[in-house]
Amino acid sequence: MLRLPTFTYYRPKTAAEAVRQKLAHGKDAMYVAGGTDLYPNMKRRHQTPLHVISLQDVPGLNTVEVQQDGSVAIGAMCRLSALEVHPHLLLNFGAFAHAVKEISTPLLRNMGTIGGNLLLDTRCTYYDQSHEWRESIDFCMKSKAGSICWVAPGSPRCWAVQSSDTVPVVCAMEAQVELVGPDGTRRIPASELYRDDGIQYLTKRPEELLTRLWLGAPSNWKASYVKLRRRDTFDFPVLGVGACVWTDSYGVVTKANIRLGGAGSYAIPATESEKVLVGQQLTDAVIAAAGEKAMKPARTMDNTDLDVYWRRKVAPVFVARALAACK
C-alpha cells in the first residue's frame, strides 16, 4: 500500500460549518470520522479528496443519550469501543452491542466510529486492491477510470458488498438515523439510508452529515446478530445475519425482520424466511424452515473471501442460528 496522498485537513467547530466546507469544495472534499475506512481507501487511491473535513470537534456527537422510554440516541462520533461496553446498550440492545464488538479488532474499534461504520464503503476483492493491481487487470466501474464489472462482466451495475456489521442489525431493529444538511435536520428509517448498488450505496446527499443513530425502546422484540468470517477477529463479514422478532404474550411471532449483510450491496431482507415465522412459535422446526428459505435471497458473488457457493449453502445455518438466538 502506498502512503497517503497530499490533502488539506479541516476541523470545523459546528455541524453547520462542516456542511458549509463540504458544499464549498463539492466532490473534492470528504468527511472523515475515525478514518479507518477512508484512509486505507485513500492509500489505494480509491478516493483522493484534496480537502478532508474531520468531524472530531463537532460538539454533541460523542454521547449516548438514554431517553425516558429506554430508547437511545447514539452520537455518530461515538467510538465503537465505547459502545461495546456501554451498560445500557449491553442490557437492552445486546444484539447491537454484539455486532459492534464483532467489528474488526480492538485497535480498530478504538478509532472507528458508529457513524463511519453505518456509512462504510461497499467492498469487493476486485476493487480493494492497490492501484497497480487494478491497473493490471483494468479498472472496474467502481473506479473512476473503469467501465467493466469483473464479478459480473455482463452487468450494468456494481455488486460490491455491504460490509458493515451493524447495518443488518440496525435495519432489522428498525432503527432511525438523523441527518443534517444545509436545509436542516431530518430523521429517516435506517433501512432507507441504503440502496441496492455497489457504487451509489447511500441515499443521502453527499453533504449531509450523519449525526445520530436512534434505537427504539425495548419492548416485545428480541434481536440478534450472527457473523460469518474466516477468522474470529479482523475480518469483514462475508455473511452477517441481523434478526429481530416481535412476539405476543403466547410466544407467537407477530413480525420478523431478517437482514442479510455481506450478501449483496445492501442488507438484503430475507422476506420468505420472515413469512415462515409470522403466526408461529419459534420452534426448532419453524426456525429450520425459515433458515432454508434464506438461501435464495443470499446473492453471494465471487468478490469476497471464502467460496461463493459455500457461502450461499451455509446461509440457512446462520439464519437459523440468528433466529435461535431470538428465542
Partner 1 sequence: MGLDESKSIPGVARPDAPWRHDAKKSELNVIGKAIRKIDARSKVSGLTKFADDLTLPRMLHMKLLRSTVAHALIKSIDVHKARAMSGVKGVLTGQDMPIPFGILPVSQDEHALCLDKVRFVGDPIVAVAALTEEQAWDACRLIEVEYELLQTIGSVHEAAATSDPRLHDYGVRGNIHRLENLEFGDLQDGFARAEHVREDTFFFEGNTHLPMEQHATLAHFDKDGKLTIWSSTQTPHYLHRALARVLHPLPAHHIRVIACPNGGGFGGKSDPFNHEIAAAKMSMLTGRPIKIALTREEVFFCHRGRHPVLMRSKMGVTKTGRITALDFQAYLDGGAYGSYGTASTFYTGALQTVTYPVENYHFRGARFFTCKAPCGPKRGHGTVQPRFAIEVQLDKIACDLGLDPAELRLQNLAPRDSLTANFLKIGSMGLGECIQKVIDGSGWKQRRGQREITADGRIRGLGLACSSYLSGAGLPIYWNGLPHSGVQLKLDRSGLVTVFCGSTDIGQGSDSVLTWIVGEVLGVDPLGIRVVTSDTDLTPVDLGSYSSRVTVMTGNAAMQAAERAREIIARGVAEHLLVPSSRLVFADARVFDSEDPQKGMSFMDAVIAAEARFGTIGTVGSYTPPKSPAKFRGGGVGPSPSYSYSAAVVEVEVDPLTGIYRVPKVWMAHDIGRALNAAVAMGQIEGSVYMGLGEAMMEEMAYRDRSHKGHRVFVHKIPSLLEYKSPSTMEMPDVVTYVVEDPDKNGPFGAKEVGQGPLLPMMPAIANAVFDAVGVRVDENPISFEKVFAALQSKKEGKDARFGPSAGADGVPQVDFGDSLKIKTPWQGGDGTAWNEPKREKKAAK
Would you state the cell numbers that stand for residue 160, as one nine-digit string? 460490491
Q: CB-based contacts of 309: which residues, under 8 Å, 6+ apart?
A: 300
Question: Is residue 150 within the footprint of ligand SF4 (CB under 6 A)?
Answer: yes
- With CB under 6 A as the contact rule, the residue among 71, 122, 143, 164 that binds ligand FAD is 164
Please state, in angstroms and rounded to a whole number, the distance separating the CA atoms of residues 50 and 312.
Answer: 41
Q: In 170-301, which ranges are E strands?
A: 176-181, 184-189, 209-215, 221-228, 239-247, 253-261, 268-269
Question: Is residue 30 within the footprint of ligand FAD (CB under 6 A)?
Answer: yes
Bridge partners, residue 223, by sequence: 244
- With CB under 6 A as the contact rule, the residue among 12, 19, 29, 36 that binds ligand FAD is 36
- With CB under 8 A as the contact rule, the residue among 73, 278, 314, 324 that binds partner 1 is 314
- With CB under 6 A as the contact rule, the residue among 97, 149, 290, 315 that binds ligand SF4 is 149
Judged by beta carbon distances under 5 to 8 A according to partner kind, the member of partner 1, ligand FAD, ligand SF4, none in contact with residue 209 is ligand FAD
Judged by DSSP in three states, 179 sits in: strand
Q: CB-based contacts of 110: which residues, under 8 Å, 6+ apart?
A: 79, 80, 81
CB of 310 to ligand FAD, least distance (A): 19
CB of 42 to partner 1, least distance (A): 13
Question: Is residue 47 within the footprint of partner 1 (CB under 8 A)?
Answer: no
- H helices within 102-224, ranges in order? 106-111, 114-118, 131-137, 166-172
- With CB under 6 A as the contact rule, the residue among 32, 74, 83, 151 that binds ligand SF4 is 151
- With CB under 8 A as the contact rule, the residue among 8, 14, 130, 200 that binds partner 1 is 130
Would you state the cell numbers that stand for residue 191, as one nine-digit string? 433501512
Backbone phi, psi, residue 239, to 5°: -160, 130
Q: 81-119 burial string, b = 16+ CB within 10 Å, else e?
A: bbbbebeebeebbebbbbbbbbbbeeebbebbbbbbbbb
- With CB under 6 A as the contact rule, the residue among 84, 128, 165, 274 that binds ligand FAD is 165
Q: CB-based contacts of 239: which residues, under 8 Å, 6+ apart?
A: 227, 228, 260, 261, 262, 263, 298, 300, 311, 314, 315, 318
Q: Which is nearer to partner 1, 231 or 250 (CB)?
A: 231
- With CB under 6 A as the contact rule, the residue among 31, 126, 150, 246 that binds ligand FAD is 31
Judged by beta carbon distances under 5 to 8 A according to partner kind, the member of partner 1, ligand SF4, ligand FAD, none in contact with residue 76 is ligand FAD
Residue list 89-128, contact with partner 1 (CB under 8 A): 125-126, 128
Question: Is residue 144 within the footprint of partner 1 (CB under 8 A)?
Answer: no
- Whether residue 162 contacts residue 266, with contact meaning beta carbons closer than 8 Å, is answered with yes
- With CB under 6 A as the contact rule, the residue among 15, 19, 32, 326 that binds ligand FAD is 32
Instruction: Give the interface with partner 1 as residue ranges (CB under 8 A).
Output: 1-3, 5-6, 125-126, 128-130, 132-133, 135-138, 148, 150, 230-235, 305-307, 310, 313-314, 317
Instruction: Give the interface with ligand SF4 as residue ranges (CB under 6 A).
Output: 124, 126-127, 140-142, 149-151, 158-160, 198, 303
